A = this chain, B = another copy of it.
Amino acid sequence: MTTITVFKGDGIGPEITDAVIKVLNAAGADLEYEFFNVGAKVYEETKEYIPEKALESYEKNKILLKSPITTPVGKGFRSLNVTLRNKYDLWANIRPAKSNPCIPTRFENVDIVTFRENTEDLYVGKEEQIDENTVYAYKIITKKVSTRIIKAAFEYCVKHNRKKLTCVHKANILKMSDGLFLHIFEDIAKDYPQIEANSLIVDNTCMQLVMHPEQFDVLVMPNLYGDIVSDLTSGLIGGLGLLPSCNKGDEYAMYEAVHGSAPDIAGKHIANPSALLLSACMMLDDLHQDVVSSKIRKALNKVFEENSVLTPDLGGNATTEQFTDEIIKNL
C-alpha cells in the first residue's frame, strides 16, 4: 500500500480530483490518499496558497497527484507550479502525446514523448530592470542540469524501446547556451549507439510537427521550448485535456493535469478528468501497478469509443459524474 499526497487545486480541480480518485479506487489501485485543498480559496482563509501541512505530507510521501492551481496574478507572485518544481527539484517533465483512434483530430499516428528540462532556462525567473526603457531576463543553461535531463531521455528510450531521440534547440542563434545543451546531447548520444539521435532547430521542429508529426519519437529540450512544444503536441492529439504529465526528480515525483483550472466551468459538473486520470496512470506505472493503469486506460478508451457518454469538451453532453461512472462500468 502506497500513500500519496493529493492537491485538489482551484476551479475544476476538486471535481476532477474526486472523479479520478473514484476511478482509482474502483480499479483496485493499491493507494492511500492524503488530501489537501490548495490554491486561491485556501489563500483567502489562510494567506497561504499551499498550506505547510500539505507540503509536509508531500515531503513524507514523495508522490503528489496535483490538479490545476491558479497562480495569483501580479508581479509579487511566482507560478505555484514552477515553485513546486523548483522546491522539490523535479527536473524532468515528461509529456507523452499519443493519438487515440477514438478521438479524431487532423492527425493520426502521433506518438511523441517530450522530455522537458524543468528547472532552469528562462524559468529561473531572474529578471532585471536595467533602465527606464530596458528589461533583461536571464536564460540559464548549465552543464549539470542539461546532462541529467538528456541522460534521462536516452535511458527512457532504452527502457521503453523507443528508437529515436531528437534534441530541440536554437543553437544557431544561442551558440553558447543552447550550444552547450546541444553539445552535451551529441556527447551523450555516443554512449547510446542503439538510439538514433538527431537534432532540430525549434522553429523547424514546430513546422515539422504540424506537417509530419509521425517522424518524431522522443524529444528532449530546454524548459521553454518544452513548454511550447509539449502544448503543440497536445494539440495534435486533441488538446491539453488529454495530455498526461509527470514531473520527476531524484527524490520526488509530481503527476499533474497541465490544463488550466477553468474557473468559468467550475462547479458546473462538466469538467473532463481525463488528463488528471492519465497522469495518475503514469503514476501507477511508476509504482509498478501497471495492471491497474492499463485497466483504467482500456476502460477510458472504451468510453471514448462508445462515443455516447462524453463531457461537452469531447463533444458529448454527459456530466463529470456520468463520464466517471461510465469509465468505472467499463473497468
A interface, CB within 8 angstroms of B: 71, 75, 79, 82, 105-107, 122-123, 125, 127-129, 132-144, 170, 172-180, 202-204, 206-211, 224, 227-232, 234-236, 238-240
Contact = CB atoms under 8 A, between A and B. Distances in A.
Contact of A137 (B75, B174, B232, B238): B174
A172 B136 CA distance: 16
Contacts of A123: 173
B176 A127 contact: yes
Contacts of A173: 79, 82, 122-123, 125
A31 to B, nearest CB: 31
Name the residue among A133, A137, A140, A176 with the largest chain B CB count within 10 angstroms.
Answer: A137
B122 A174 contact: yes
Contact of A174 (B127, B133, B204): B127
A227 to B, nearest CB: 5
Contacts of A106: 106-107, 210
Given A82-B173, A135-B142, A135-B176, 16 more contacts: A75-B175, A79-B173, A122-B170, A125-B173, A128-B176, A134-B141, A134-B143, A135-B141, A136-B139, A137-B177, A202-B228, A204-B231, A206-B231, A209-B232, A211-B239, A232-B232
